Amino acid sequence: MDRSQRKDPSSPLWLDAIRRFERLIGVPVERMVTSDAYFDAMPKLRRLQTQMVELVATYTDDWFRLFNVPAGSDVRHMREQLSRMERQLEKLTKELHDREDGRRPAARKRRPTG
């Protein structure tokens, strides 16, 4: 490669080579992962993956429970339930705080911390 043709004359040859190599593979890869074909295939692959996980779970869950061990789906359900409960608690706490704020005099000054 002619050194005068390189973008940055101070950068070493090996670095230029890596940058050129990266662009050589990067351009087609970027074209592929931003194409309609990729985005059409992605949801199908993701759904397939979810189905596979569910399929495996249908076979393994009973075994886990047989030994009184929680299965992955049990943990997931529990986390979902906990999340719902957390949100309800948060909502109630906010409502309480807002009511308290509403009862306080409007002129109350809040000072910066620190």
**Counting contacts by CB under 8 A, is residue 87 touching other proteins?**
yes
Q: Which is nearer to other proteins, 18 or 55 (CB)?
A: 18
Rule CB under 8 A: is residue 95 a binding residue for other proteins? Answer: no
* Helix runs in 34-71, H state only: 36-66
Which string of b and e fits 10-40 if b means at least 16 CB within 10 Å? eeeeeebeeeeeeeeeeeeeeeeeeeeeeee
Count residues near other proteins (CB under 8 A).
Answer: 38
Nearer to other proteins, 45 or 55 (CB): 45
| Amino acid (one-letter) located at 61 | D
CB 38 within 8 A of CB 32: yes
Chain contacts with other proteins (rule: CB under 8 A): 11-12, 14-15, 18-19, 21-23, 25-26, 29-30, 33-34, 36, 39-40, 42-43, 46-47, 50, 76, 79-80, 82-83, 86-87, 90-91, 94, 109-110, 112-114
